[in-house]
């Protein structure tokens, strides 16, 4: 499946003339991180393309260039994308048009916002979203607020050392935890050292080949 994506040239780009991002706490150093395709994003897209999603309401968190959202949109899945960066929505609209897809639902959200009207989802996905210690509880609680009683969560973590703490927090919300190494990552320039983290609650089906043991 071909997905075409317009991105920043590299992670040195910066354009915040009105200090919109700065006022949201996004510095010039972190501003461009949303705008390129990271290895974890590619791993998530390759994982989700073979995952059963038909008839599910799906949420991508911290979507950045939203590669997985664009892919799911190509399959006519019910996908909503979210991020905190103020430029993500602009790129998402442009890339959706570039792929001749229908408009993707998008909201700029703060994980600390307890009044979000996103609603509830059957599947929640994300890649490389555990890059600060403070995000562990914020993200787990945000997921809990937007997860259906039966929900599956799939996160690709490149190995930042926070997955065990995060899994324990998710377990307090009633999620079971398992993890696996991606089967094949020869599409990446370097070996992938991270894992696909999987959380399930309620009657969410266990993915084929899932290891249900917890490593928290």
Q: In this predicted structure, what is the pLDDT of residue 42?
A: 97
Query: Per residue in 114-162, pLDDT tens?
Result: 888 999 999 999 999 998 999 999 999 999 999 999 999 999 999 999 9
Q: Could you tell me the two tokens for 68?
A: 């997985």
Give 132's contacts (C-beta < 8 A, 6+ positions apart): none
Q: Is the dihedral of CA 29, 169, 71, 80 positive or negative?
A: negative
Q: In this predicted structure, what is the pLDDT of residue 214?
A: 34
Q: Is the dihedral of CA 137, 20, 26, 42 positive or negative?
A: positive
Q: In this predicted structure, what is the pLDDT of residue 211?
A: 45
Task: Answer for the pair 71, 1: CB distance below 8 angstroms, yes or no.
Answer: yes
Q: In this predicted structure, what is the pLDDT of residue 183?
A: 87
Rounded to two decimals, the pTM is: 0.92
Task: Answer for the pair 154, 51: CB distance below 8 angstroms, yes or no.
Answer: yes
Q: In this predicted structure, what is the pLDDT of residue 205?
A: 58
What domains can you pick out in the chain, each with its CATH number?
Answer: 36-201 (3.40.50.150)
Which regions of the chain are under pLDDT 70? 204-216
Beta partners for residue 83, in sequence order: 108
């Amino acid at each position: 499946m071909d997905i075409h994506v317009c991105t920043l040239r590299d992670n040195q780009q910066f354009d915040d003339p009105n200090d919109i991002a700065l006022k949201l706490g996004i510095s010039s150093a972190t501003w461009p991180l949303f705008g390129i395709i990271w290895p974890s994003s590619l791993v998530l897209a390759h994982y989700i393309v073979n995952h059963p999603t038909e008839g599910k309401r799906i949420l991508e968190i911290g979507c950045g260039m939203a590669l997985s959202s664009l892919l799911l949109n190509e399959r006519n899945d019910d996908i909503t994308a979210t991020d905190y960066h103020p430029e993500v929505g602009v790129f998402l609209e442009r890339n959706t048009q570039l792929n001749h897809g229908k408009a993707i639902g998008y909201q700029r959200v703060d994980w600390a916002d307890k009044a979000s009207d996103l609603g509830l989802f059957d599947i929640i996905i994300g890649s490389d979203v555990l890059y600060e210690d403070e995000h562990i509880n914020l993200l787990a609680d945000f997921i809990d607020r937007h997860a259906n009683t039966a929900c599956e969560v799939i996160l690709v973590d490149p190995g930042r050392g926070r997955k065990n703490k995060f899994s324990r927090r998710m377990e307090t919300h009633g999620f079971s935890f398992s993890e696996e190494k991606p089967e094949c990552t020869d599409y990446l320039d370097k070996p992938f050292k991270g894992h696909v983290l999987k959380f399930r609650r309620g009657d969410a089906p266990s993915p084929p080949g899932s290891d249900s043991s917890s490593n928290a």
